[in-house]
Chain A
Amino acid sequence: MIQRIRTIALHTFKESVREKVLYNLIIFALLLIGSAVLFASISLGIERIMLINLGLSSIAVFGLLMAIFIGIGLVSKEIDRRTIHNILSKPVRRFEFIIGKYLGLLLTLVVNTTIMTGGFYIALYYVQRHLAGEDALLLETIYFIFLQFAIVVGLALFFSCISTPILSAFFTFCLYVAGNFLADIRWFGRESGSVIFEKVTALLYYILPNFSNFQVISQSAHGKAVPSYMLTAGSLYALLYVTIVISASILIFEEREF
């Protein structure tokens, strides 16, 4: 089982890293990080803050695009192109396929995020002329950004099990946006004065992915470290959420006919 999951993951990775769109996105992200150096040089006194904000935001945005893009290709492309017939006719259990695909795409994202992080640190070095211990803290922020990608790929996987690629991308993006405003949605529910509405928003708050847990870019731009308990809780949250969406995806996928 492990061996088959690994095989699927590795070949998914092999296929997805050859996707040209990914390179375009990476190049674009690196360009934006590079341009942050320019912007930083014309804004007095906040070069570092600006570079961190813009650089980390670029990583987050482009990583998100990649996560959605490769995430929806995960299952729906295999179904569309009927490659899945081939894989499932081999002694592969359906859950092995889903888990393998997920891990393969996660691996792709690890590599892409690493490249973007490298570009970011080069830019940071260029602006500061040195790298301080403080800068290592930014890795924690990038880790948090990556946790978001992991959830987004999971969501994309889930939706591509039940929908078309375009709708999957749309749903995933909507959930990402909603997940960033969950706290506000819940607050809105509390303020509304309607008990039902409050209950519904509270339910959504705990079921939908709460991406605001991972919003730490502006804090880290001001040199605030992510507290260690938050690192643990955030990792746990992401792990749990991925487990949930993967389980749900598998339950749906087991029922599917191709």
Chain B
Amino acid sequence: MLAIEIIELTKDYGVGFWRKRPRRALERLSLEVEAGEVFGLLGPNGAGKTTTLKILLGLVFPTVGTARLFERDAHDISAHQKVGYLPENPSFYDRLTAKEFMTYAASLFGLSDKARSCRITLLLEQVGLSDSVNLPIRKFSKGMIQRLGIAQALINDPDLIFLDEPMSGLDPVGRREVRNIILQLKEKGKTIFFSTHILSDAETLCDRVAILDHGRLQGCGELREILEMGLSNTEIVLEKPSPDTIVALESFASSVVRTGDRVRLELRAGSDLAKVLAQIVRCNAKLISLNPVRMSLEDYFMERVGNSDGLSSRRGATAGMESRRNE
């Protein structure tokens, strides 16, 4: 079953005080997220990640297009019964205590008194706030508020959880805890849809990611697929090679970098590895390592987004999307 279905979603915001000129926040975005997936929405600030989430939650209305949660329209409130949401930089009612706020959230889902207090205690413990249950929220640190935000997003035991920048404001320990929570939820078969601009989080957590820039989808697919798209190069490191060796190998290399005694050569795509190795043996150079270059998400991201105005990258993005579609 599809947990999220986004079809040709376009969103224009009116900007300006008197004469509102439309500013496009999303351009014909289409995405599908299967139930049980951990899906990462990546992109730099202002790429349209939060807008996408807000449309999915019915906070903002799409200009064109459809968004569905569990096959119900996004602004059908009944779809929210099984949805949890952590807003970006959340803030809660200053004068309520953590417990009161959680109670508030729980009663909005119609949870019974008994189920409510059990679940609140459990969740606050899970996010490490059990010491601050009766503290007014205005005394919370940023990290604590983030944790409370995660706790309240899970109050209704949701099947689909939206997390907008879940790691922001957290220290490394907090991040690891949140990561663990996400992985636990994944184990329970929940669908998690989160936005982030921290790529390492996405790399460790996501089954699939979509990359947004300027409201356009730049690429979408399983992480492995996206990363393998860049798996085309081989890197060779030699120690104290003679200048002849380098001259001989230069025709295969796309880049030659010297660091101290060592020389790092990156081979061009499609180079015949056997020939290269033969050459090295012939020159009697000392081979330190030979590795396939695995493109990091970071590289991919930089490549897609960094020159997003270039036609080539967009074609690449479409290719990425197609590879997903052809599955």
Contact = CB atoms under 8 A, between A and B. Distances in A.
Given A7-B107, A91-B78, A258-B60, A15 B93 contact: yes
A139 interface: no
A109 B61 CA distance: 35
Given A7-B104, A19-B95, A86-B90, A91 B85 contact: no
B169 interface: no
Contact of A11 (B54, B77, B96): B96
B80 interface: yes
Contacts of B83: 89
B58 to A, nearest CB: 7
A89 B80 contact: yes
Contacts of A88: 57-59
A140 B296 CA distance: 75
B100 A14 contact: yes
B46 interface: no
Contacts of B95: 14-15, 18-19
B170 interface: no
A89 B59 contact: yes
B96 A91 contact: no
Given A89-B59, A257-B61, A258-B59, A83 B93 contact: yes
Interface in A60-96: 81-83, 85-93
Interface in B92-128: 92-96, 100, 104-105, 107-110
A9 to B, nearest CB: 11
B241 interface: no
A4 interface: yes
A251 to B, nearest CB: 15
Nearest to B104: A11
Given A91-B78, A91-B81, A83 B91 contact: yes
B60 A257 contact: yes
Contact of B92 (A8, A14, A83, A258): A83
Interface bracket on B: 20 to 34
A89 B78 contact: no
B59 A92 contact: no
A14 B108 CA distance: 15
B108 A4 contact: yes
A92 B77 contact: yes
A128 interface: no
A83 to B, nearest CB: 6
B80 A91 contact: yes
A15 B87 contact: no
A258 B108 contact: no
B152 interface: yes
Contacts of B58: 88-89
Contacts of A91: 77-78, 80-81, 108-109
Contacts of A85: 54, 57, 59, 85, 87, 90
Contacts of A228: none
Nearest to A92: B108
Contact of A258 (B54, B80, B152, B156): B54
Contacts of B94: 15
B87 A86 contact: yes
A3 interface: yes
Interface string A36-68: 000000000000000000000000000000000
Contact of B93 (A3, A11, A90): A11
Nearest to B56: A89
Contacts of B87: 82, 85-86, 89
Nearest to A84: B59
Interface centre among A15, A89, A91, A92 (most CB of B within 10 A): A89
Interface in A115-146: none
Interface string B152-174: 10001000001000000000000
7 contacts: A7-B107, A8-B108, A82-B90, A86-B92, A92-B77, A92-B108, A257-B59
Which 10 pairs from chain A and chain B are nearest by CB?
A: A89-B85, A18-B95, A7-B107, A91-B80, A85-B87, A257-B60, A90-B108, A11-B104, A89-B57, A258-B59
Interface of A: 3-4, 7-8, 11, 14-15, 18-19, 81-83, 85-93, 257-258
Interface of B: 54, 57-61, 77-78, 80-81, 83, 85, 87, 89-96, 100, 104-105, 107-110, 149, 152, 156, 162
